Amino acid sequence: MKKLNFPFTAILGQNKMKMALILNVIDPQISGVLLTGHQGTGKSTAVRSLVELMPQIEIIKGCEFSCDPYSDIDDLCESCKEKKEKKKIETEFRDMWLVNLPLGVTEDMVCGSLSIDKVLTEGIRALHPGLLAKANRGILYVDEINLLQ
Give the pLDDT confidence score for residue 149 in this predicted structure: 67
pLDDT in tens, 15-52: 999 999 999 888 888 888 888 888 888 888 999 898 88
Residue pLDDT, tens place only, 54-72: 889 999 999 999 999 999 9
3-state DSSP assignment of residue 113: strand
Task: Give per-residue pLDDT as tens, 74-113.
Answer: 999 988 999 999 988 999 999 988 899 988 888 889 999 8
- How far from 86 is each of 12, 59, 80, 83, 90, CA to CA, in Å? 51, 17, 10, 5, 12
pTM comes to 0.77
Nearest to 53 by CA among 31, 14, 22, 94: 22
